[in-house]
A and B are shown apart, each in its own frame.
Chain A
Amino acid sequence: MASVSMESQTPPKTVGAKPAKFVSPWTVALYAVLTALTTAVTMTLVIPLPTRGYFNIGDAMVFFSAFTFGWRAGMICGGIGSAMADLLLGFGFFAPITLVAKGSEGLVAGILGRTYKGATWAKILGIWAGGSCMVTTYFVGEWILYGFGNAALELPLNVGQVLFGGLIGLTLSQAISRYRNPNPKTT
């Protein structure tokens, strides 16, 4: 599997045309797939709660993308994928908040989780820092939209969700990295 790069390739020049920048086809394909996967997991793998709403494990996919493919993938795929799930579930007004919350979660987790060659403690640090970004953003956003009572009620739910998602994302990224060949040239 090729490594992910966001370097723009230089396309052949056409006379009189505005040069268009574009990322490599592998990046386009990978980001499309990761975004769709995040949305699908957020929408499908839900644990229904008896009292209210649902508990999704979309965070697991955000952390997985961030740990395996870097902070750009975590930010773009996590943010847009989760926001898309909100849009498709009829929670469109919440999508901008989700975009910021999950985007920052993927960004921070991707930067911290890949330090020290992706050691487990670095990933746990990434989950902690990224998770606090997400929980804080959601708390502030809900406070503005729903009022303090609802935001406070949702807070433990979000903390639980991010911890559960982080646990799954950590296990998943370690399991997948065992299958991926780190250096394709040697085989």
Chain B
Amino acid sequence: MTGFIDLYTEASTFLHRMDPRVKIVAVATLSLLALITSHLVYLLVLAAVMVVLILFGRASYKKTMLAFSYVFRVMALIVVLWPLFDPRGTPVLFGFGPIRITEPGILAGIATAARIFCLAAAWYLLMFTTSQRDLVRGLVKMGLRFDFGLSLAMSLRFLPTFSAIVESIKDAQRARGLELDKGNLRKRARDYVAVLVPTVITALKMADTLSLALQSRAYGARTDRTYMRELKMRAGDYVALLIAVAVFAIPATAKYIFSIPL
């Protein structure tokens, strides 16, 4: 959990070549699909599809495990805790006072864990197949104001720098005898302030320099923005967009208009 990680994995699969806008839409529709599905079997099928997609995207094993380590922990907790707070259902397996462990409760817990896996996998698919630059470009093309897009791109660029600055200031203060992992909460808070004050001062100085750099490069001088790299939707992107919308629209219609339980 120290330092900075970029989930993006370089490769040239169809997922990497897909237009970032299509991928953003697909993540939204897949998340909604996972949220409206509540039957365990369908959720497991969806999870299997996600795993296949991750394999198609040639994700690196190490990064995937790193990204999913927290998700797996949350899933385990859901499987354990859900039945304790869900006393519905008839086949009671175990009862003690107000706590009733039932079979539907356990199944609902597993279904929720599977849903969390689907959600995490959908977002992980976006993050590991899209470079941060493409992501910002896609957002700007989808209607984000370009100055906020520029701000976002700059903050993504400075993220590793600031992580390194925080780490080195932490080490510098440790060398002066600061003990970050000791003492009560008040003392710890003061210790963290000793790390954060130099960090913030460095960052604000950097912001000054950055604003000068922006002005010297004539930021905002032209009212008509031109882009060096334009995003173009190819035929495959339209097909992918259609699939992404259909994957949500068909089950949603089935559930809410024809009231087929999902």
Contact A45 B192 (CB under 8 A): yes
Count, chain B residues at interface, CB 8 A? 84
Q: Which residues of chain B from 171 to 206 have a CB within 8 Å of any chain A CB?
A: 181, 185-186, 188-190, 192-193, 195-197, 199-201, 203-204, 206
B77 contacts A by Cβ under 8 Å = yes
* Chain A, 46-68, CB within 8 A of any chain B CB: 46-48, 52-54, 57, 60-61, 64
- Please tell me if the beta carbons of A25 and B199 are within 8 angstroms of each other in the complex: no
Docked-complex contact B203 and A91, CB < 8 angstroms: no
Given pairs A45-B170, A53-B70, 12 additional interface contacts (CB within 8 A): A13-B223, A19-B223, A24-B211, A33-B158, A34-B207, A39-B162, A45-B196, A54-B1, A147-B85, A148-B85, A149-B81, A164-B188
Query: Is A168 an interface residue, CB under 8 A from the partner?
Result: yes
Interface string of A160-178 (1 = CB under 8 A from B): 0000100110011001100
Binds A, one of B213-221, B238-246, B253-261: B213-221
Instruction: Determine the chain B residues whose CB is within 8 A of the CB of A171 once the complex forms.
Output: 189-190, 193
A135 to chain B, nearest CB (A): 17
Question: Which single member of A28, A33, A60 contacts B204 (CB below 8 Å)?
Answer: A33
Q: Are B166 and A93 within 8 A (Cβ)?
A: no
Q: CA–CA, A29 to B146, complex, Å?
A: 14
In A1-29, which residues have CB < 8 Å from any B CB? 1, 9, 11-14, 17-26, 28-29
Q: Are A39 and B2 in contact (CB under 8 A)?
A: no
Whether B43 sits at the interface, judged by CB under 8 Å, is no
| Also in contact, A175 and B193, with CB within 8 A (given A39-B159, A90-B70) | yes
With A26-B211, A44-B163: A149-B82 Cβ-Cβ less than 8 Å: yes
Q: Which residues of A contact B159 (CB under 8 A)?
A: 36, 39-40, 84, 88
Is B210 part of the contact surface with A, judged by Cβ < 8 Å?
A: yes
Q: State whether the Cβ of A119 lies closer than 8 Å to any Cβ in chain B.
A: no
Q: Is the CB of B189 within 8 A of A90?
A: no
Q: Is the CB of A35 within 8 A of B155?
A: yes
Given A29-B214, A147-B85, check contact A39 B225 (CB 8 Å).
no
A45 lies within 8 A of B81 (CB): no
Instruction: Report yes or no: B31 in contact with A25, Cβ–Cβ below 8 A.
Output: no
Whole-angstrom distance from the CB of A99 to the nearest CB of chain B? 13
Q: Check B224–A30 contact: CB distance below 8 A.
A: no
A11-B220, A20-B224 as given contacts; A91 in contact with B70, CB under 8 Å: yes
